[in-house]
Amino acid sequence: MFTTPFLDLPPLRAAQGTVRLPGSKSISNRVLLLAGLSEGTTVVHDLLDSDDTRVMLDALRALGCGVEARGADWHITGLAGQLPVKSANLFLGNAGTAMRPLTAALAVLAATQQGTFELKGIPRMHERPIGDLIDALRQLGCPIDYLGNDGYPPLRLNAGTGPLDTSAPIRVRGDVSSQFLTALLLGLPLVSAHGPVTIAVDGELTSKPYIEITLNLLARFGIAVQRDGWQQFTIPQGSRYRSPGSIHVEGDASSASYFVALGAIAAFDGRAIRIEGVGDDSIQGDIRFVDAARAMGAQVSSGPGWLEVRRGAWPLKAIDLDCNHIPDAAMTLAVMALFATGTTRLTNIASWRVKETDRIAAMAIELRKLGATVVEGPDFIEIAAPARWDRAAIHTYDDHRVAMCFSLATFNPLAHPAGEVPVRILDPRCVGKTFPDYFETLFTVVEARTTDVPVLAIDGPTASGKGTLASAVAIALGYHFLDSGALYRATALAAMAAGVADTDEAGLAAAAAGLKLKFSGQQIWLGDTEVSDDLRQEHVGAMASRVSVFPAVREALRALQLSHRRLPGLVADGRDMGTVIFPGADLKVFVTASAAVRAERRYKQLISKGIPANIDSLRADLEARDLRDQSRTVAPLKPAEDAKLFDNSELSVDQCVARVLEWWNARQAF
């Protein structure tokens, strides 16, 4: 997984394959809370592993619930309505699905069982309104203080002075966020012992499908809420949360939207995108995104737990859609609009303004950067595709969905008119909120032109530290890594094993062409034998240097080296990465260090592995090897003309990595 503060996506041209979705965020956090309030232990399968579920798990632990990971399952033992811990400070990140329901449940528990709880989050959480929920809880008699601004977290939920009053319907606004109603529905069964609890909704209820998820899951935990239209909900007297024993979390339907869109845009000529984890039996409202995608042109087939998507109409067709029923997935429609003829209009999306960020503003600004024409209003957005695509660095506002949906803009070569631009996603790890390995998953199903796949070439003499540097840079960028020296070393090893002399060019070339090399993590395998350590031996390196002077050997290894150029990118190290193998590399670095420094590094390396060494003879060997690598007639060791020369004698590995990443970042001209 890459760690850089940006991710550059090259222009992409097609997509096919199968993806498995992570669990739904909405279902995961509701299930966790319900399990935490229940009698008994609930085994939760396929829970989403993300920032938002992590804060919920931490909160349950702090409240005294049993929380245990067993393999891929979570075992949650609930409180059965009794507070074992009377006071706690809970940090809930930017998880609205944790903040709102925990506020409701803990407010009534604190009030009735003399507890005190403080709930806070990151600064953005403190800008997300919660006043309507607090007003509703205060009607019951829950004493709640705002610790910052009125109407917003952080909050303190206090001990009560008398019994809570459930005789009158609890009124809550439904037109800002359905999460307030969900929070009350999840929390108020706790106060149903003496009579039914009625919740009345003021205003038109927004995002109804999320309420359906809530009701569906409450039923799984033994609570049958009676619903009267969308205006009134009654929790029967004596409702008690009972664990269903085990429960499965279905894949996230909002996350599915990116792959449905991917299929509609890029799965053509017999290709298909298959999505596993969510299907036509889903209880999530965002599954209805499929209908919207169909209206734009997607061909979708489905069954229980799966969807399959192909391109249908092309270019896509603009739509005019009330998106109140699919608020989260509708962001994906805004990006699909970049591939449509006409103007797409998405309406009734006022709730976008109070999500992880002001999503209407965010989408408008970022879509315009790509060249789209955008009009925004208080509760709508209109998008017309770019007449000319611009390269853009997409700001993501700590909003996972902005990051995920804009990744689709990299298919601009398919649009009408077409673009040829890469897209930079800033702060790409914000996808951790719901889909931590989104980009890694995307890369398994997309196709690029080989020459568009970015390459960073790092060449230099032996023991210059280029291997360590290249592999660290590859990890930081999440790119593939090619240690080309290992290919020459493996050829040397294979030749020695087969008794081929180091002067026999044809025999050596045959050994190179027949290499059965496999790279897996830090290990290198030759056929069925792990040879990682053998390859690093001095005599193998020396033989590699002799072997590598032969043009036939170099030619035999060429295709194998080129084949490492795969999405999302490649960092290659060796002697001729920038000059011969990848002459068009996006960045070339030529690492040097004095012979004395390199001899010392090699010496330390060998000693640390328990291999005896002598520093003077190491230095003599190094200099001999330099001379041979530099003076051979084919692909001699020398910097490419456009390489950045980099003497790293005085620098630590981290400093070297930072320097190269800085150059890389600057090279991309966003």
> Binding residues for ligand DC, per CB under 6 A?
462, 484-485, 488-489, 541, 544-545, 548, 574-576, 625, 629
Q: Where are the alpha helices (DSSP H) in 387-460?
A: 400-406, 438-443
Q: CB within 8 A of 652, min separation 6: which ones?
A: none
In terms of Cα–Cα distance, which of 438, 421, 420 is closest to 429? Answer: 438
- For residue 575, the minimal CB distance to ligand DC (Å) is 4
Question: What angle (nearest 5°) sits at the alpha carbon of residue 182, between those of residues 180 and 187?
Answer: 95
Residue placing its CB nearer to ligand DC in the complex, 87 or 503:
503
- For residue 597, the minimal CB distance to ligand DC (Å) is 16
Could you tell me the strand order of the sheet in which 523-526 lies? 517-520, 523-526, 529-530
Q: Residue 386 in 3-state DSSP? A: coil
- For residue 562, the minimal CB distance to ligand DC (Å) is 12
- For residue 657, the minimal CB distance to ligand DC (Å) is 18
How many residues can be counted in the chain? 670
Residue placing its CB nearer to ligand DC in the complex, 35 or 640:
640
Residue placing its CB nearer to ligand DC in the complex, 432 or 541:
541
Element (H, E) at 618: helix 615-631
Cis status of the peptide bond prior to 417, with omega within 30 of 0:
yes
- For residue 582, the minimal CB distance to ligand DC (Å) is 10
The type of residue at 277 is: G
Q: What is the C-alpha to C-alpha distance for residues 218 and 234, in angstroms, rounded to an integer? A: 12
Distance set, CA 105 to CA 108, 156, 267 (Å): 6, 13, 46
- For residue 606, the minimal CB distance to ligand DC (Å) is 13
Task: Provide the b/e sequence for 384-411 (b: ≥16 CB within 10 Å).
Answer: bbbeebebbebbbbbbbbbbbbbbbbbb
- For residue 342, the minimal CB distance to ligand DC (Å) is 52
- For residue 427, the minimal CB distance to ligand DC (Å) is 35
Burial of 563 (0-12, 13-18, 19+ CB in 10 A): exposed
- For residue 577, the minimal CB distance to ligand DC (Å) is 6
Spot the catalytic one: 46, 252, 328, 626: 328
Q: CB within 8 A of 555, min separation 6: which ones?
A: 509
Residue placing its CB nearer to ligand DC in the complex, 274 or 489:
489
Residue placing its CB nearer to ligand DC in the complex, 480 or 625:
625
The type of residue at 291 is: D
CA dihedral 36, 37, 40, 45 (to 10 degrees): -40
In terms of Cα–Cα distance, which of 66, 53, 51 is closest to 26? Answer: 53
CB 245 within 8 A of CB 255: no
Tokens of 495: 């030749």
CB 382 within 8 A of CB 374: yes
In terms of Cα–Cα distance, which of 353, 308, 297, 302 is closest to 327? Answer: 353
CB 537 within 8 A of CB 493: no
Question: What angle (nearest 5°) sits at the alpha carbon of residue 657, between those of residues 655 and 658?
Answer: 65
Residue placing its CB nearer to ligand DC in the complex, 301 or 523:
523
- For residue 548, the minimal CB distance to ligand DC (Å) is 3
Residue placing its CB nearer to ligand DC in the complex, 596 or 627:
627
Q: What is the DSSP secondary-structure string of 174-204? A: -SS-THHHHHHHHHGGGG-TTS-EEEEEESP
Residue placing its CB nearer to ligand DC in the complex, 433 or 602:
602
Strand partners of residue 20? 276
Q: In the annotation, is 228 catalytic?
A: no
Strand partners of residue 345? 320, 382
- 10 Å Cβ neighbour count for 669? 8
Task: Provide the b/e sequence for 240-270 (b: ≥16 CB within 10 Å).
Answer: bbbbbeebebbbbbbbbbbbbbbbbbbbbee
Instruction: List active site positions.
Output: 328
